[in-house]
Amino acid sequence: MKLSINNDIALTHIVTRKKQTFVAALGVTIGVAIYLFMNSLSSGFTNFSRDNIFQSNAHIKIYKSDELSKPLQENPKAITVIHNPQITTTSKTIINPQALLYRVKQEPYITNAVVQVDFVAFYNRGKTQIKGSGNGVNMLEYSNMFNTNKYMVAGSIQDLQGNLNGIIIGKGIAEKLSLGLGDNITVSSSYGVSKVLRIVGIFNMGNSLMDDSKSFVNISTAQQFLKENASFVTTIYANTLDADKTLGFVEKLQSLTEYRVEDWQTTNADVISGDKTRRAMMGAISLSILLVASFGIYNILSATITQKINDIAILKAMGFKGGDVIKIFVSEAFIMGIIGTVIGLCCGAILITIMSKVYMGPPVGYFPIKIEPKLFAQSFILGIFITFCAGYFPARKAANVDPVEIFRK
């Protein structure tokens, strides 16, 4: 028995009032469980949409953007008038892409960079035609960056390497044209170039936008589709150390090149703002639930203090300081909070585990939720913090009890 007397009193209050303790803890349990669950849900969705983005987007993208015609001469003394502004871009190419790629790779914060040649592709079989996008890439490097390897359902990415007549297509294209591995497919471009290519691989990214339209060929094959020379490159993709910290790097890279440098956040602003809205909403809802739960502790502690006002008075008469009284009642809130929070975390974990086993159907698959230690820690700290606050205010009221007023009654 080595408890300090303050804790001893707190513990005795808790133990002799099991029902109230249980009710207060239950409130926190529900609050914490829902907070944890909703935030895990939100985080799961965010990760899911992020994974989707990074299937085809790198952290940073460098490309030539369209330019509008400008007045030939800016004259500060006269009104500059230009009629009919037009896009003046004649070619989408990045000039001397290898030098730029080399330079970009030199930057310490860049982990990986690849070049890509994009073209509009039409996949034909008989009279059926599907419009899609062709990507001329160095397949091994590309796969390193985008983990395409992971999504291959037939064939392999190695088979495309150096195979100028090979193509890897999405599962949706293969199904619609009823083609399989090793079959031939006629691909034509908007420049009128038509080629018969052999399917060396089929991928399934679980995203119909990709699976129904995307294909991969070698860079030189893509250049032929565009009737361009061997130095023609439309885009450079680069990955950085941390996807969330690209902002400064965009500016640095922009200073290296005249071409447009864009981070994935800008490219996918719509998805990200959707994520943010969802996170803010779920965060606000779950936080208010937790706040409401903390009122349980506040109420029960306030009631305890009103009931025990004589005890508080006598403790103060015997020499307990205001701080001691605060400690006693905050400890009580703390014990209730710990019990509630720990059980709440367990309930949250169970909810998450059950939810992660629910199959949502393609393209999502299983519910994108998992146990994230960071969120557990966050919920724990928040749960304790809120119960601490809920305990502190009634405790302060107790500390200010004037014993003389009580004894005179």
Partner 1 sequence: MKNLEVVLSTKRLQKYFYEPIKFKVLDDVTFQSYRGEFLTLVGKSGSGKSTLLYCLSTMDTRYEGELNILGENVTGKKTDYLAEIRNHHIGFVFQFHYLLPEFTCLKNVMIPALKLGNRSYEEVEEKAYQKLEMLGLKEQALKPASKLSGGQQQRVSIARALINDPQLIMCDEPTGNLDSKNTQIVFDIFKQLSQEYNQTIIAVTHDNDFAKASDRTIELADGKIISHHKLFETSESE
Judged by the rule CB under 8 A, the positions of this chain that interact with partner 1 are 1-2, 4-5, 8-9, 12-13, 16, 310-311, 313-324, 402-404, 407-408
Cβ proximity of 120 and 222 under 8 Å: no
Q: Which is nearer to partner 1, 169 or 401 (CB)?
A: 401
In the complex, least distance from residue 381 CB atom to partner 1, rounded to whole angstroms = 31
Q: How far is the CB of 20 from partner 1 (least distance, A)?
A: 13
Chain centroid, CA 315 distance in Å: 53
List the beta strands (DSSP E) in 64-220: 110-125, 128-137, 152-155, 166-170, 184-189, 194-203, 214-217
State the minimum distance, in angstroms, from the CB of residue 306 to partner 1: 15
The candidate with the shortest Cα–Cα distance to 378, out of 50, 42, 39, 46, is 39
Which is nearer to partner 1, 64 or 308 (by Cβ)?
308
Specify the 3-state DSSP secondary structure of 205: coil
Residue 272 CB, nearest approach to partner 1 (Å): 54
- The rounded distance, in Å, linking the Cα atoms of 73 and 84 is 16
Q: Between 11 and 181, name the residue whose CB sits nearer to partner 1.
A: 11
Find the shortest distance in angstroms from Cβ 365 to partner 1: 55
Cβ closest to partner 1, residue 8 vs residue 118: 8
Q: How far is the CB of 17 from partner 1 (least distance, A)?
A: 9
Nearest distance in Å: CB 323, partner 1: 7
**How does strand 110-125 pair with strand 128-137?**
antiparallel
How far is it, in rounded angstroms, from Cα 356 to Cα 369? Answer: 5
> In the complex with partner 1, which residue's Cβ is closer, 140 or 309?
309
Nearer to partner 1, 366 or 407 (CB): 407
Residues for the chain: how many in total? 409
State the nearest-atom distance from the C-beta of 403 to partner 1, in Å: 5
Distance of CA 139 to the CA centre of its chain: 27
Amino acid at 225: F
**Residue whose CB is less far from partner 1, 82 or 404:** 404
Can you list the pairs that 298-301 forms with residues at least 24 positions away whose Cβ atoms lie under 8 Å?
A: 298/390, 298/391, 298/393, 298/394, 300/20, 300/21, 300/23, 300/24, 300/336, 301/24, 301/329, 301/332, 301/333, 301/390, 301/391, 301/394, 301/395
Nearer to partner 1 among residue 313 and residue 333 (C-beta): 313
| Residue among 94 and 395 whose Cβ is closer to partner 1 | 395
Of 12 and 129, the one with the shorter C-beta distance to partner 1 is: 12
CA distance 295 to 383: 12
Least distance between partner 1 and beta carbon 32 (Å): 28
Least distance CB 305 / partner 1 (angstroms): 14
Residue that is written with structure tokens 């982990």 in the block: 111
Q: Among candidates 211, 136, 141, 134, which has minimal Cα distance to 176?
A: 211
Neighbours of 27 (CB within 10 A): 26
CA distance 270 to 313: 61
Q: Note if the bond before 363 is cis, omega within 30 degrees.
A: yes
Name which of 68, 115, 44, 63 is nearest 275 in CA terms. 44
Q: Which two tokens stand for residue 164?
A: 């100028």
